[in-house]
Amino acid sequence: MLLDVDELQEFYGTPLGQTVRRLLAHRIRARWRGLQQSTLIGLGYSSPYLGAFRGEVRRLGALMPDSQGAVRWPREGASHTVLVDDDRLPLPDGSVDRLLVVHCLEVAEHTRHLLREMWRVLAPEGRVILVVPNRRGVWARLDNTPFGQGRPYSRRQLDHLLIGAMFSPLDWGGALYFPPLGRRMLLRSSTAWERVGEGISPAFCGVLIVEASKELVAPIGKPMRARALRNPVLQHLGARRDGSPRDQSTST
């Protein structure tokens, strides 16, 4: 199921959505500080988390896929939002220092192609943070939030996907340990839920948060030892079983 921008806006306008925004923004901001002179681009529906970087980074933008739709962001001043093709990001090669991907990977139609585009636009020392629903978490099992849509991932699946796209995972984390309910008392205690959940059941977080760097050289697999093959054609041409040539002299 594709995410719709109107539904995303509606969710983040609710008390539950505002709590999610606060908790995730804190996790993201803890990883990325001191980004002066950097270019930061959000992909998917990342605008709720980009506001903390306004006034710090040199360039800031929000790319929203056409399958999702776009809204103006920020509401005041010049718009930093661009509606883009899911399969082609309108950015030059190596032009982005930091890429924040939220509400995107789990609903992408061509996941591997999207990851290759992310790799292309990142600078050689670039970093990406992805926020995706956790397959083992409660949030992926209920469809009352955007994190219950699309394909959730396990850490192993996401790790394999990133390495295959020439990214090197650097730091793993999680968030949203409380159940996705909008009850006021539950939301008030959400910070305590995060502390307790991270300490006793980190595998059951609602979302996975991974920071990865761009790899410039593809990994090389472990070389395999060559095996001697019993090939009747080679034997006919005069090769021994051990691979050495036979004595071609004839007896008289």
Residue 16: how many CA atoms within 13 Å on its side-chain side?
16
| C-alpha torsion sign, points 115, 121, 123, 127 | negative
pLDDT at 16: 97
| CATH topology classification for 5-216 | Rossmann fold (3.40.50)
pLDDT value, residue 188? 94
Check whether 99 has a pLDDT greater than 60.
yes
Reply yes or no: is the peptide bond before residue 245 cis, omega within 30 of 0.
no
Calculate mean pLDDT across residues 157-173. 97
pLDDT surpassing 90 at residue 244 = no
Contacts of 87 (CB under 8 A, 6+ apart): 110, 113, 114, 117
Mean per-residue pLDDT, 140-150: 95
Q: What is the pTM of this model?
A: 0.84
Cα(76)–Cα(159) distance, rounded to whole angstroms? Answer: 38
What is the CB neighbour count within 10 angstroms for residue 115? 21
How many CA atoms within 13 Å lie on the side-chain side of 33?
Answer: 5
- Cα distance between residue 80 and residue 62, in whole Å: 6
pLDDT tens per residue, range 79-96? 999 999 877 899 999 999
Where are the domains positioned within the chain? 5-216
Question: Residue 52: pLDDT above 70?
Answer: yes
Strand order in the sheet with 122-133: 81-84, 59-65, 39-44, 96-102, 122-133, 207-214, 167-175
pLDDT tier at 76 (50, 70, 90 boundaries)?
confident
As a whole-number percent, the residues of the chain with pLDDT over 90 amount to 79
How does DSSP assign the chain, residue by residue?
Answer: ----HHHHHHHHTSHHHHHHHHHHHHHHHHH----TT-EEEEEES-HHHHGGGTTTSSEEEEEEETTT----SSSSSS--EEEEBTTB-SS-TT-EEEEEEES-GGG-SSHHHHHHHHHHHEEEEEEEEEEEEBTTSSGGG-SSSGGGSS--B-HHHHHHHHHHTTEEEEEEEEE--S-S---HHHHHTHHHHHHHHHHH-GGG-SEEEEEEEE-SS---PPPPPP-----HHHHHTTB-TTSPBPP-----
pLDDT score of 218: 57
Which residue from 58, 82, 88 is spatially nearest to 70, judged by alpha carbons? 82
